[in-house]
Structure 1
Amino acid sequence: MAINNKKSVLKQRLKHLMQWLLFLTIAIALAISLRLFLFAKFSIPTPSMEPAIKAGDQVIVSKLTPGARIITNFFSMKNSEEAQLKRTPGFAIKRNDVLIFNFPYSEWHRITIDMNLFYAKRCVAIPGDTFYIENGIYKVKHSIDTLGCYENQQHLSGRKESDFDPAVYHCFPHDEHYSWNIKNFGPLYIPQKEDDLSIDTRNIVLYKNLIEYETRKAISTKDEQVFMADSLITTYKFTKNYYFMAGDYVFDSKDSRYWGLLPEDHIVGKVAFVWNTKNKETGKVSWDRFLKRVN
């Protein structure tokens, strides 16, 4: 009888252990799924998005906009292969969404995707928009939306060129045919997937990096003509959507004004709210920013 009781107790304990292991496995799987498909946490190290996001903020990012990215060649990346990505269905990106994305220009002459380098900026123009800056104010053709931090743009409007270092004042595409700067920029058309654009030796400087990123073929010009590898091109149909990203602190932000357009596959998600902020001087939590929505 004592032996049977011991077997019964052991069996019961084993049952409880299996239940806890199952619960733990489900919890881990759920946590991983949430991290992969729904949410992520990021720390913001710079003030380029102030006042919406402050340096030191920890933010929660929703991957539902524009949908979670799945790396399809995860095990090949150890051989220095660039990540190949697919995206789950999600919500469309809108103007003024604050996004986390992989910086596209770790190498300035071409677009790459650095999976370890993240930026936070505001989307001020979406695919199909024509974006421009007029005396410091951000605008999209045929739209009355207020884009980004209007107050900072007003301050920019009142400043002179001499107030800025030339490297800060002058902008993309850094070409003699375009005298764009942080106060007067564009107009720049933002390509969307399936757009069939006319290409010439003037506008190719705006889209060269995008086309080379999509095709993995070199673009060159000769005798007022544009070539992709050895083939003459006069039009190009884009296969990806692109976005114009800008920091709210317009005086000090390494954004699309300097490096150009952001491919959609670089986007991680939309910043939803501030999770935690610590005061730099005291080290204490700034409770006034706890769960503050980012608009």
Structure 2
Amino acid sequence: MNIAFYAGFYLITAPLLILITIGFWKLFQKAGRPGWEALIPIYNSYIMLKISGRPWWLLLLLVLPGINIIVAAGIIVDFVKSYGKISVGQLASAILLPFIYLPLWGFDKQTRYLGPSASAEFHEKYQKELKKSSAREWTEAVVFAIVAATLIRMLFIEAYVIPSASMESSLLIGDYLFVSKVNYGARIPMTPVAFPFAHHTMPLTGTKAYWDGIKLPYFRLPGLSEVKKGDVVVFNYPMDADSPLYRPVDKRENYIKRCQGTPGDTLSLIDAQVYINGNAANTPRHGEMEYAVKTAAGNNFNRQIIHELHLSDIQQFTNQDYLMNMTVQSAEVLKGDANIKVVRPNIGLRGVYDPEIFPHDSHYHWNVDNLGPIIIPKKGWTVKLDSLTLPLYRRAIEVYENNKLEVTGNNITINGKKANQYTFKLNYYWMMGDNRHNSEDSRFWGFVPEDHIVGKALFIWMSWDVTSPSANKIRWSRLFRAIN
């Protein structure tokens, strides 16, 4: 994000924080506390606990990511209850619009401190007001369930289903996964105003499920680790930034691929083998690729073999010649079949230019099986800009890091200033599907910025095979399987 963005962000949020502090100042005074105690972070939360009669050790929970949001909301709820703000609307206003209602109640002469809301005396004295109708109990239960589920989904773990064959046979269509937000650190929503549980589109209506009038800067909570090579990662599809969608970062479509390259790595792809910094990378054990298969004359594949060996994307050219996707293990089994004459990987030739392959520039004679070497940008790395590097890094500079880049003849300008180099502000990753010849991935659109990372795929909790000829569609052997 550029300086102007942050300046605008703080210009908006600073007055709101001041209003909230003024509200606490006045309400503290109503409870017989000095107003200045509202100015001291953490200590002011301790005073709120004292005013509402809650134990001080709840402060310790404020250091736990995710839990701290729930605890902070609980502290505010108990605090305003001590001033008689008991209705669902008042409690919601205190949490969602504190910059309006806290100062409003602070200056309101009718609002007074009634005592610690957590005490037995308070409940006994105001039991009539605190008694909840069935409608209110149901409303609060539903609201709590929605808030709790949203926080869990946002900060801890989220369900995901495999929609395409790009990760087969490591992950299959119909695999239901849990994706951890904790491993890499939960990303705080950048588009905070959105319909609960809907990603970018409302079901049935097909309209936007979010309002992009408010956009927050990228921020990620501390995680257990960085993204590592070999991790199966869910991320937002970078190309959704373009026309016609123009979606915000966190509302772009979710993709799942395997991380092949991390920031600062030099990546090459030679004859379908990935090399990182000159060394051959591990090939996914259950990954697929395209094979050319030739059968003996007069022999065809039967449905049972296709299903057992998980042969897919079968194309028949003659009575004997086929192209199909399969794993190395399936290829070995197929080679042992007496009716099969040839089984060989169908790998593209080196030096053949494919315009669909990143960076879509004829200077680079790259294709789906042969590309690179290419340096994956790392935060703080400075690249020299010229006619050869610009095709590789222009999108990252322009789209992902929000700069205005123009080329006039041999001159390059960034944000109106002549530039012959650029220093990256984000880390980037190279993602590829395990089904190498049936995956739209970094080979087609380039780098994945760190702010697009959603989480790490942990394990499969359900797997449903809609293509199975059997009445039982559940793949029992895949249930609760860890993702490697």
SS in 2 for 1:121: strand
Residue 279 of structure 1 aligns with which residue? Answer: 465
**8 Å CA contact 1:137, 1:153 repeated in 2:** no
User: Which of 408, 416, 419 is the equivalent residue of 1:233?
Assistant: 419
Distance in 1 of aligned mates of 2:249 and 2:359: 20
User: Which amino acid in structure 2 is aligned with residue 288 of structure 1?
Assistant: S
Distance in 1 of aligned mates of 2:141 and 2:242: 48
Stretch deviating more after TM superposition (240-249 or 76-85): 76-85
SS in 2 for 1:88: coil
**8 Å CA contact 1:136, 1:154 repeated in 2:** no
Stretch deviating more after TM superposition (116-125 or 281-290): 281-290
For the structure 1 residues 64 and 133, does the alpha-carbon distance in structure 2 shift closer, same or farther, using more than 3 Å as the test? same
Residue 160 of structure 2 aligns with which residue? Answer: 42
Report the RMSD for the aligned CA atoms in angstroms. 3.4
Quote how far apart the aligned CAs of 1:269 are: 0.2
User: Which amino acid in structure 2 is aligned with residue 45 of structure 1?
Assistant: P
Residue 65 of structure 1 aligns with which residue? Answer: 183
User: Which of 357, 369, 372 is the equivalent residue of 1:186?
Assistant: 372
Residue 219 of structure 2 aligns with which residue? Answer: 86
User: Which amino acid in structure 1 is aligned with residue 237 of structure 2?
Assistant: F
User: Which of 452, 455, 479 is the equivalent residue of 1:266?
Assistant: 452
SS in 1 for 2:238: coil
Residue 346 of structure 2 aligns with which residue? Answer: 159
Quote how far apart the aligned CAs of 1:65 are: 2.6
**8 Å CA contact 1:103, 1:114 repeated in 2:** no
For the structure 1 residues 154 and 284, does the alpha-carbon distance in structure 2 shift closer, same or farther, using more than 3 Å as the test? closer
For the structure 1 residues 112 and 140, does the alpha-carbon distance in structure 2 shift closer, same or farther, using more than 3 Å as the test? farther
Q: Which is richer in strand?
A: 1
User: Which amino acid in structure 2 is aligned with residue 198 of structure 1?
Assistant: K
User: Which amino acid in structure 2 is aligned with residue 120 of structure 1?
Assistant: I
Quote how far apart the aligned CAs of 1:221 are: 2.2
Residue 428 of structure 2 aligns with which residue? Answer: 242
User: Which amino acid in structure 1 is aligned with residue 264 of structure 2?
Assistant: G
Residue 385 of structure 2 aligns with which residue? Answer: 199
**8 Å CA contact 2:433, 2:441 repeated in 1:** yes
**8 Å CA contact 2:238, 2:448 repeated in 1:** yes
Residue 101 of structure 1 aligns with which residue? Answer: 235
For the structure 1 residues 293 and 150, does the alpha-carbon distance in structure 2 shift closer, same or farther, using more than 3 Å as the test? closer
| Identity among equivalent pairs (%) | 31
**8 Å CA contact 2:401, 2:425 repeated in 1:** no
User: Which amino acid in structure 2 is aligned with residue 247 of structure 1?
Assistant: G
Unmatched runs of 5 consecutive residues or more in structure 1: 1-9
Distance in 1 of aligned mates of 2:477 and 2:253: 29
Q: Aligned residues, how many?
A: 279
**8 Å CA contact 1:100, 1:271 repeated in 2:** yes
For the structure 1 residues 26 and 105, does the alpha-carbon distance in structure 2 shift closer, same or farther, using more than 3 Å as the test? closer
For the structure 1 residues 170 and 160, does the alpha-carbon distance in structure 2 shift closer, same or farther, using more than 3 Å as the test? farther
User: Which amino acid in structure 2 is aligned with residue 292 of structure 1?
Assistant: R
Residue 138 of structure 1 aligns with which residue? Answer: 274
Distance in 1 of aligned mates of 2:217 and 2:389: 29
Stretch deviating more after TM superposition (112-121 or 256-265): 112-121
User: Which amino acid in structure 2 is aligned with residue 97 of structure 1?
Assistant: D
Distance in 1 of aligned mates of 2:287 and 2:174: 22
SS in 2 for 1:100: strand
SS in 1 for 2:431: strand
Stretch deviating more after TM superposition (21-30 or 60-69): 21-30
Quote how far apart the aligned CAs of 1:170 are: 4.8
For the structure 1 residues 125 and 160, does the alpha-carbon distance in structure 2 shift closer, same or farther, using more than 3 Å as the test? closer
Q: Which is richer in helix?
A: 2
Stretch deviating more after TM superposition (139-148 or 128-137): 139-148
C-alpha distance after superposition, 1:214-271 (max 9, x if no partner): 4423323233232214321111111111000000001110100000100111111000
**8 Å CA contact 1:125, 1:131 repeated in 2:** yes
TM-score (norm 2): 0.51
Whose RCO is larger (CA < 8 A, sep 6+)? Answer: 1
C-alpha distance after superposition, 1:32-53 (max 9, x if no partner): 4322211000111101001111
